[in-house]
Protein backbone atom coordinates (compact mmCIF):
# COMPACT_ATOMS: atom_id res chain seq x y z
CA UNK A 1 0.00 0.00 0.00
CA UNK A 2 2.74 2.47 0.92
CA UNK A 3 4.52 1.69 -2.36
CA UNK A 4 1.38 2.55 -4.32
CA UNK A 5 1.03 5.76 -2.32
CA UNK A 6 4.64 6.64 -3.17
CA UNK A 7 4.01 6.23 -6.89
CA UNK A 8 0.74 8.19 -6.85
CA UNK A 9 2.25 10.96 -4.73
CA UNK A 10 5.23 11.15 -7.08
CA UNK A 11 2.90 11.58 -10.05
CA UNK A 12 1.05 14.38 -8.27
CA UNK A 13 4.31 16.13 -7.41
CA UNK A 14 5.57 15.72 -10.95
CA UNK A 15 2.31 17.18 -12.25
CA UNK A 16 3.07 20.57 -10.68
CA UNK A 17 4.08 22.67 -13.71
CA UNK A 18 6.43 25.34 -12.42
CA UNK A 19 6.72 27.01 -15.84
CA UNK A 20 2.93 27.39 -15.83
CA UNK A 21 2.82 28.60 -12.22
CA UNK A 22 5.63 31.14 -12.68
CA UNK A 23 4.22 32.33 -16.00
CA UNK A 24 0.78 32.92 -14.48
CA UNK A 25 2.06 34.55 -11.29
CA UNK A 26 4.70 36.89 -12.67
CA UNK A 27 3.77 37.40 -16.34
CA UNK A 28 0.03 36.63 -16.38
CA UNK A 29 0.51 34.21 -19.26
CA UNK A 30 0.09 30.53 -19.98
CA UNK A 31 3.52 29.36 -21.14
CA UNK A 32 1.84 26.68 -23.27
CA UNK A 33 0.32 29.38 -25.48
CA UNK A 34 3.66 31.03 -26.30
CA UNK A 35 6.92 30.17 -28.00
CA UNK A 36 7.15 26.45 -28.71
CA UNK A 37 4.15 25.75 -26.47
CA UNK A 38 6.22 23.49 -24.25
CA UNK A 39 5.85 23.84 -20.48
CA UNK A 40 9.54 23.61 -19.65
CA UNK A 41 12.70 25.54 -18.86
CA UNK A 42 13.87 26.11 -22.45
CA UNK A 43 10.60 27.66 -23.58
CA UNK A 44 10.50 29.65 -20.33
CA UNK A 45 13.92 31.06 -21.25
CA UNK A 46 12.72 32.08 -24.70
CA UNK A 47 9.48 33.63 -23.49
CA UNK A 48 10.23 34.98 -19.99
CA UNK A 49 14.00 35.25 -19.69
CA UNK A 50 16.90 33.77 -17.76
CA UNK A 51 15.84 34.08 -14.11
CA UNK A 52 12.44 32.38 -14.53
CA UNK A 53 14.07 29.69 -16.68
CA UNK A 54 16.67 28.89 -14.01
CA UNK A 55 13.93 28.71 -11.38
CA UNK A 56 11.88 26.34 -13.54
CA UNK A 57 14.93 24.17 -14.30
CA UNK A 58 15.88 23.78 -10.64
CA UNK A 59 12.33 23.21 -9.43
CA UNK A 60 11.57 20.67 -12.15
CA UNK A 61 14.81 18.82 -11.37
CA UNK A 62 13.86 18.85 -7.70
CA UNK A 63 10.55 17.14 -8.51
CA UNK A 64 12.40 14.14 -9.90
CA UNK A 65 14.82 13.94 -6.98
CA UNK A 66 12.03 14.24 -4.40
CA UNK A 67 9.98 11.56 -6.16
CA UNK A 68 12.85 9.06 -6.01
CA UNK A 69 13.45 9.86 -2.33
CA UNK A 70 9.74 9.39 -1.59
CA UNK A 71 9.87 6.02 -3.32
CA UNK A 72 12.81 4.92 -1.22
CA UNK A 73 11.31 6.25 1.99
CA UNK A 74 7.76 4.91 1.72
CA UNK A 75 8.86 1.52 0.40
CA UNK A 76 11.43 0.94 3.10
CA UNK A 77 14.35 1.39 0.69
CA UNK A 78 13.11 -0.64 -2.30
CA UNK A 79 15.09 0.57 -5.38
CA UNK A 80 12.38 -0.66 -7.76
CA UNK A 81 9.70 1.47 -6.11
CA UNK A 82 12.12 4.40 -6.10
CA UNK A 83 12.63 3.99 -9.84
CA UNK A 84 8.88 3.59 -10.43
CA UNK A 85 8.22 6.74 -8.39
CA UNK A 86 10.75 8.66 -10.44
CA UNK A 87 9.13 7.46 -13.65
CA UNK A 88 5.72 8.49 -12.27
CA UNK A 89 6.99 12.03 -11.66
CA UNK A 90 8.08 12.27 -15.31
CA UNK A 91 4.66 11.04 -16.44
CA UNK A 92 3.11 13.66 -14.16
CA UNK A 93 5.20 16.43 -15.69
CA UNK A 94 4.34 15.34 -19.22
CA UNK A 95 0.64 14.77 -18.56
CA UNK A 96 -0.31 16.86 -15.49
CA UNK A 97 -3.76 16.24 -14.07
CA UNK A 98 -3.96 19.84 -12.79
CA UNK A 99 -3.57 21.44 -16.22
CA UNK A 100 -5.70 19.36 -18.56
CA UNK A 101 -2.88 16.83 -19.10
CA UNK A 102 -0.95 19.39 -21.20
CA UNK A 103 2.59 19.40 -19.86
CA UNK A 104 6.17 19.53 -20.98
CA UNK A 105 8.69 17.02 -22.30
CA UNK A 106 10.05 16.10 -18.90
CA UNK A 107 13.74 16.84 -19.48
CA UNK A 108 14.52 18.64 -16.22
CA UNK A 109 12.43 16.22 -14.16
CA UNK A 110 14.22 13.34 -15.86
CA UNK A 111 17.57 14.91 -15.00
CA UNK A 112 16.53 14.89 -11.35
CA UNK A 113 15.32 11.29 -11.51
CA UNK A 114 18.46 9.99 -13.22
CA UNK A 115 20.76 11.96 -10.93
CA UNK A 116 19.03 10.39 -7.93
CA UNK A 117 19.00 6.85 -9.34
CA UNK A 118 22.29 6.56 -11.28
CA UNK A 119 24.33 9.59 -10.33
CA UNK A 120 27.68 8.79 -11.95
CA UNK A 121 26.36 7.67 -15.36
CA UNK A 122 24.10 10.74 -15.35
CA UNK A 123 27.04 12.97 -14.45
CA UNK A 124 29.19 11.63 -17.29
CA UNK A 125 26.35 11.88 -19.80
CA UNK A 126 25.51 15.34 -18.45
CA UNK A 127 29.00 16.62 -19.24
CA UNK A 128 28.68 15.28 -22.80
CA UNK A 129 25.23 16.87 -23.15
CA UNK A 130 26.42 20.25 -21.88
CA UNK A 131 29.36 20.23 -24.30
CA UNK A 132 26.95 19.39 -27.11
CA UNK A 133 24.69 22.32 -26.18
CA UNK A 134 27.66 24.71 -25.91
CA UNK A 135 28.96 23.65 -29.33
CA UNK A 136 25.69 23.33 -31.26
CA UNK A 137 23.31 25.47 -29.13
CA UNK A 138 20.64 22.81 -29.65
CA UNK A 139 19.10 22.09 -26.25
CA UNK A 140 16.97 19.28 -27.65
CA UNK A 141 20.04 17.49 -29.02
CA UNK A 142 21.83 17.82 -25.68
CA UNK A 143 18.75 16.52 -23.85
CA UNK A 144 18.51 13.46 -26.07
CA UNK A 145 22.23 12.76 -25.76
CA UNK A 146 21.87 12.97 -21.98
CA UNK A 147 19.06 10.40 -21.88
CA UNK A 148 20.71 8.05 -24.33
CA UNK A 149 24.17 8.47 -22.82
CA UNK A 150 22.98 7.83 -19.27
CA UNK A 151 21.19 4.67 -20.37
CA UNK A 152 24.17 3.29 -22.29
CA UNK A 153 26.71 4.15 -19.58
CA UNK A 154 24.50 2.68 -16.85
CA UNK A 155 23.97 -0.51 -18.88
CA UNK A 156 27.71 -0.94 -19.38
CA UNK A 157 28.72 -0.09 -15.82
CA UNK A 158 25.84 -1.18 -13.56
CA UNK A 159 27.98 -3.84 -11.93
CA UNK A 160 30.85 -1.42 -11.34
CA UNK A 161 28.57 1.17 -9.72
CA UNK A 162 26.50 -1.52 -7.97
CA UNK A 163 23.15 -0.49 -9.47
CA UNK A 164 20.39 -3.10 -9.88
CA UNK A 165 20.33 -4.15 -13.53
CA UNK A 166 16.56 -3.57 -13.73
CA UNK A 167 17.35 0.15 -13.48
CA UNK A 168 18.45 -0.21 -17.10
CA UNK A 169 14.91 -1.21 -18.09
CA UNK A 170 13.56 1.93 -16.45
CA UNK A 171 16.21 4.00 -18.23
CA UNK A 172 15.31 2.46 -21.59
CA UNK A 173 11.66 3.30 -20.94
CA UNK A 174 12.48 6.86 -19.89
CA UNK A 175 14.75 7.35 -22.92
CA UNK A 176 12.15 5.93 -25.28
CA UNK A 177 9.51 8.23 -23.82
CA UNK A 178 11.82 11.22 -24.17
CA UNK A 179 12.62 10.46 -27.80
CA UNK A 180 8.91 10.11 -28.51
CA UNK A 181 8.15 13.43 -26.80
CA UNK A 182 10.96 15.05 -28.81
CA UNK A 183 9.90 13.57 -32.15
CA UNK A 184 9.08 16.98 -33.62
CA UNK A 185 12.45 18.31 -32.42
CA UNK A 186 14.22 15.35 -34.03
CA UNK A 187 12.42 16.06 -37.30
CA UNK A 188 13.47 19.72 -37.17
CA UNK A 189 17.06 18.77 -36.29
CA UNK A 190 17.21 16.51 -39.33
CA UNK A 191 15.84 19.32 -41.51
CA UNK A 192 18.15 21.94 -39.98
CA UNK A 193 15.17 23.94 -38.70
CA UNK A 194 15.52 23.47 -34.93
CA UNK A 195 15.66 26.65 -32.80
CA UNK A 196 18.95 27.33 -31.06
CA UNK A 197 19.58 28.35 -27.48
CA UNK A 198 19.37 32.12 -27.12
CA UNK A 199 16.65 32.65 -29.73
CA UNK A 200 13.82 34.73 -28.31
CA UNK A 201 10.17 33.94 -28.78
CA UNK A 202 7.63 36.71 -29.01
CA UNK A 203 4.83 36.65 -26.46
CA UNK A 204 1.46 36.31 -28.16
CA UNK A 205 -1.03 38.97 -27.19
Residue 92 placed within a domain: yes
What percent of the chain lies above the pLDDT cut of 70? 96
Instruction: Read off the pLDDT of residues 144-198 as tens digits, 9 standing for 90 and up.
Output: 999 999 999 999 998 888 889 899 999 999 999 999 999 999 999 999 888 887 6
pTM of the model: 0.91
User: What is the pLDDT, as a whole number, of residue 205?
Assistant: 42
pLDDT, tens digit, 9 for 90 and up, residues 51-83: 999 999 999 999 999 999 999 999 999 999 999
Q: What is the dihedral of CA 61, 154, 175, 133, to 10 degrees?
A: 60
**Domain assignment of residue 113, yes or no:** yes
Domain that holds residue 160: 2-191
The per-residue pLDDT for 199 is: 62
What is the number of domains present in the chain?
A: 1
Would you say residue 33 lies in a domain? yes
Is residue 200, in this structure, part of any structural domain at all? Answer: no
Amino acid sequence: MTSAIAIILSYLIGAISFSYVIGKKFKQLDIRDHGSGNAGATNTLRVMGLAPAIAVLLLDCAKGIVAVWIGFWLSGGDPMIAAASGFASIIGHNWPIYYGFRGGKGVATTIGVLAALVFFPALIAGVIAILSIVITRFVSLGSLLFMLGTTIIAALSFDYFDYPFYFVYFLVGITGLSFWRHRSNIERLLKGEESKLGQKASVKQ
